[in-house]
Structure 1
Amino acid sequence: TADKVKTADTHNGWQEAKASRQVSNQVVRLANIKRLLTSSWKQTPQRDRGLLPGNIKSQLQKACQTRIVDWRQILRRQFGLLARGQVESHARFNRRQPLRMDLPGKVTRLDPAVDIFVDNSGSVTDQEISQTLTTLEKMLKKTKLTASVYSFDAQVTAKQKLHDGKKLDFRRTGGGGTSFQCIFNYLHQHHLTKRNRIIIIIITDGWGEERINNYHYQNVYWLMMTKANQLSVKEPPGRVLEMRG
């Protein structure tokens, strides 16, 4: 009995839990430091940057660099998750790294859908639109998913189906100014719920309004014909991707 009491009173495992918390806190500290350095570097006037030592300047420039990712690879992965009946969600913990709150988990969804909205403003060329839709069509063909392709400028003007075995005959309609709000208004007004409408893809040059009401649609991918920082929407929902190459 004495041995059992002695075993129960030990603090085994406390050090491991403490070490895990320290690693997690260290990640948060490093992220905050990087954010502070990036903000300070952007606020430093150009004339004052020459007063910094060379090694410090190189480290600050390295911290401000944006990692370029392949938009095809990201969407291909999302389509694969849809084909398996899964989708990423921040409402669920990541099973492999549950302490990383920035990593989404996976949840099972039924009735998967892909909605593609194409900017019909005059600044987006027909060639760019055609190439992008052809690439998406090939990606969807491998996963055997169907998609709805919408045209929009100041409002959503047309709808077509994009699926395996059917050639998409996309034609520009409208061509006026761009309003991103009309996309989310359309989704909301037609009762296309967040549970069923899984992926929203917006192909655009990014020139529109600054503020939108996204009605809590978060699984949005902005495919930019220009630089990612040229998207006019402040704090856009989802992820902004550059279509370089």
Structure 2
Amino acid sequence: MESFFDNQVKELYEKADIIINNFLKSKRKDKNPKVNIPKEFKEEFFSLVDQVNLSLMEDKDNFYGYFLMQMSREIRFDISSPTAVNFKGAKYVIYFNPIIFLNLNIKQMESTIKHEILHILSRHLIRAEEFKGGYSTLAINLAMNIVVNTYLDHLPPYSVTLEWLNLNYSLNLLPFKPFEYYAEEIQTALDLLEADEDAADESDTDDADDSNDKARAANDAAADPDRDETIETEYNPEKAHDLWADSSDIDEKTLQEFTEKFIDNAQKGSVPNYLESMISSLKNSKGELPWNLYLKRLMGTVESNKKKTITRRNRRQPDRLDLRGQLRSHKARIVVALDISGSISDQEFNQAIKEVLEIVKNYNHEITIIECDSEIRRVYNVKSVKDLKDRSNISGGTRFTPVFEYANHHKVNLLVYFTDGKGEEKLMTIPRGYKTLWVISGRGDKLSLNHSYGAVKKLKNIEIKDDSLKMSDVKIEGFSMQDQESMGI
């Protein structure tokens, strides 16, 4: 005998189906129709969500119920997952696709809500953005879903789990590993699969390009408020987190503060150990990494090439030992820009560039130093600290745009810009195809740009004993810059 809840679900699904059919009919007449969701349907649907939330609050994991109470709720038929989240208007928003959500039982509905909240606690909305460029959207989404789904029971049948991934991608991934571990292993598997498919049939390359174009179009559509609406009826892991790109433009430090408020209001008693660990990790993260550790993370996202390996067999023909597999290798073309307008001391920059060289030494890299103020004064390459030159004595005002013009024309993967932050308010040249890391001098305040196009970190203030110190004086010894102050992204 069906329960009252099950009958509600059935009736709502039928009404959702009518909404979709009406949309498809209007699409024949209108080029850009909108999905018309009646007020009555919204009220009935969110009444059912309230029942799911009540069940969450009665459970031992009532943290999720109290967290959900603080979130705004919206219905969208164009998301390819039962639920999705982003941060809009000083609140986390949870979205529901009724067609996919109403196909779940109540325990599975609870799990998909928990899934979204765990993404928030794991800071995935920020971390996904940091890893774009070096990893595909599919690899990032699969890795993040594995992290959160490991803690959940009663998952929907199509959920990405460790067992599913190991089986479908011939992997042997271990549980409870960090996101970076999963992303790297999954991307390697995807690269191998793509290489094998390309070798088998050149036409697959065109199909892959078409697929990538469709994925990019989907991402663009998610971030465009005037997008043409679509209907999604099935789960798609590659598009499941597209709405993250539609979040409000907010720095990481502020988002951290909002998240901690949500957490504090949701803790009405004891929480499970795994939740307690996640919450503790989030609160201790201070919302961001020091510049040097952040650079290490960026090095994992620079443009990559494939290299042959004998440690893995060819995926398509594993019995052919003469055919080598392929793994990812990093070719990092790095530009380090130094503002020589007098705002950054030799001591700060000399030690910082040594740390840059130490961080990138294990990668196949090229480093170009640019000395600049209102224009580029000198450009030269370095392979070790022995190649560093005394900085130019010429200095004027500060403009950031010339360096970005240079980077755009030289196929750069990463730009690290050392400055006091005082320059123009708007870049005349927008960075294309590479990551940017701003490192603000200890004597600087903040970046003058309205849009940084990258992470902004700050050096800790240090005592400047002799600002006329030459590069050659500090090539071997120096002070440590591990202790950094935080600054929002």
- Which TM-score tier does this pair reach, normalised by the shorter chain? 0.5 to 0.7
Does 2:403 align with 1:183?
yes
Equivalent of residue 203 in structure 1, options 412, 418, 426: 418
CA contact (8 A) 1:180 1:212 kept: yes
CA contact (8 A) 1:150 1:159 kept: yes
Correspondence for 1:240: 456
For residue 157 of structure 1, report the CA deviation from its aligned partner: 1.6
Equivalent of residue 22 in structure 1, options 104, 113, 118: 113
Correspondence for 1:105: none
For residue 66 of structure 1, report the CA deviation from its aligned partner: 5.5
5 Å-filtered alignment, 1:1-245, equals 13-15=104-106, 18-23=109-114, 67=287, 69-82=289-302, 85=305, 111-164=331-384, 166-188=386-408, 191-192=409-410, 196-217=411-432, 219-226=435-442, 230-244=446-460, 245=481
Q: 1:70 to 1:110 in 2, by over 3 A?
A: closer
Q: How big is the alpha-carbon RMSD for the aligned residues of Structure 1 and Structure 2?
A: 3.8
The amino acid of 1:180's aligned partner reads F
Provide the identity percentage.
21
The amino acid of 2:337's aligned partner reads F
Greater RCO (CA < 8 Å, at least 6 residues apart): 1
For residue 159 of structure 1, report the CA deviation from its aligned partner: 0.8
Q: 1:141 to 1:165 in 2, by over 3 A?
A: farther
The amino acid of 2:441's aligned partner reads M
Structure with the greater alpha carbon radius of gyration: 2
CA contact (8 A) 1:140 1:146 kept: no
CA distance in 2, matches of 1:241, 1:162: 23
Q: TM-score, normalised by structure 2?
A: 0.32
Q: 1:173 to 1:19 in 2, by over 3 A?
A: farther
* Aligned residue-pair number: 183
CA distance in 2, matches of 1:28, 1:135: 32
Q: Secondary structure at the match of 1:209?
A: coil
For residue 210 of structure 1, report the CA deviation from its aligned partner: 1.2
For residue 168 of structure 1, report the CA deviation from its aligned partner: 1.7
Post-superposition, which runs of at least 4 consecutive aligned residues in structure 1 deviate over 6 A?
27-32
Correspondence for 2:312: none
Q: Secondary structure at the match of 2:397?
A: coil
Q: 1:216 to 1:135 in 2, by over 3 A?
A: closer
Q: Secondary structure at the match of 1:113?
A: strand
Q: Secondary structure at the match of 1:75?
A: helix
CA distance in 1, matches of 2:429, 2:333: 18
Q: TM-score, normalised by structure 1?
A: 0.60
The amino acid of 2:405's aligned partner reads N
